Structure 1
Amino acid sequence: MIIRKEYKFYAAHRNEELQDKCRNLHGHRYGIVCHFEVQRTGSYSTLFSDFDDKIGPFLKEKYDHGMLINVNDPLYTTLKSHMATHGEDFKLCEFQGPTSVENLAYKLFTEITRMGFDLSLLEVQETDTSVISYDREDWARDNEAQVFSAAHAIDSAQ
């Protein structure tokens, strides 16, 4: 059985590797749709609030109204220096590579799975017309290829 839950958050980012408009700092209202595999144990499988109580606050704390940023982006060093110099505390959601929607899907799939949920599919909507579908097979392939091995080391330490 599948339970489908939707969440939204606002975040800024840029993709410094591209040579187009996405190289500029800009923001999105990201929509994510989680598809959870659940097993019925009686009259119900899982309370919807079990998802909302963990995922909602997590997204609000780590992502909402923050900046997704590659730690290798020169802007990252500039922002960290500015924060130290001026005592400001920007919400920076650190990536170990470009902040593409594909990498965001991988990162969110990993984080939600580590919460103990059996996530089978994650859809990430970046714009009104652009959605990526990222499933368990994609996640297994990315983990196997160790494409994001540095991210794993950092995430595991937390």
Structure 2
Amino acid sequence: MIIQKQYKFYAAHRNEQLKDKCRNLHGHRYGLVCHFEVERTGALSTLFGDFDAKIEPYLKEHYDHGMLINRTDPLYETLQDHERRTGERFRFKVFDAPTTVENLAFTLFSEITEMGFRLAQLEVRETDSSVITYTREDWIADNRDASRLTGGKKSAVTE
């Protein structure tokens, strides 16, 4: 059986490897649609609140109103220097790969799976008209070959 739940968060990012508008720092209201595989063991398989109790606080703490940033982006070093000089703190979600929506989907799929849930697929909406569907098969392939996340370099996504 599949249970579907939706979540959202706001975050900034940029893709420093591109030569277009996405190289600029900008933000999105990301929408997630999680498709959970559950086993029915009686009249009730899973409470919707079981998903919300873990996923909503995690998104608020690690993603919402934060910045997705590639560890190798020169801007990251600049922002860390600013933090050291001023004492100001930013919420970073650090990637060891470009902060593409595909890599975001991989990271979220991994984190939600680590929470003990089994995802069949995850839809990530970057804009009103741009959505990717990331499947369990995609996740397995990315785990087998992490160079897919970086376009050829061996790497992984971290916190």
| TM-score normalised over the length of structure 1 | 0.94
Instruction: Find the counterpart in structure 2 of residue 98 from structure 1.
Output: 98
The answer as to 2:156 corresponding to 1:151 is yes
The answer as to 2:74 corresponding to 1:74 is yes
- Structure 1 residues not aligned, in runs of 5+: none
Alpha carbons 2:36, 2:120 under 8 Å: kept: yes
Q: Partners in 1 of 2:121 and 2:59 — Cα distance?
A: 17
User: Would you say how many aligned residue pairs link Structure 1 and Structure 2?
Assistant: 154
Instruction: Find the counterpart in structure 2 of residue 31 from structure 1.
Output: 31
Equivalent runs, 1:44-55 vs 2, <5 Å? 44-55=44-55
Percent identity between the two aligned chains: 66
- Give the ranges of 4+ consecutive aligned residues of structure 1 lying more than 6 Å apart after TM superposition: none
Q: Whose helix fraction is larger, Structure 1's or Structure 2's?
A: 1
Q: Partners in 2 of 1:12 and 1:146 — Cα distance?
A: 24
Aligned-residue CA RMSD (Å): 1.1
Q: Partners in 2 of 1:129 and 1:53 — Cα distance?
A: 29
* Displacement of 1:59: 0.3
* Displacement of 1:41: 1.2
Q: Partners in 2 of 1:106 and 1:119 — Cα distance?
A: 12
Secondary structure of 1:104's counterpart equals helix
Listed one character per residue, the Cα deviations across residues 91-138 of structure 1 (whole Å, up to 9, x for unaligned) are 010001110000000000000000000001000000010000000000
Q: Partners in 2 of 1:59 and 1:46 — Cα distance?
A: 21
Secondary structure of 1:151's counterpart equals coil
Q: Partners in 2 of 1:23 and 1:146 — Cα distance?
A: 23
- Structure 2 residues not aligned, in runs of 5+: none
| TM-score normalised over the length of structure 2 | 0.94
Secondary structure of 2:32's counterpart equals strand
Secondary structure of 1:19's counterpart equals coil
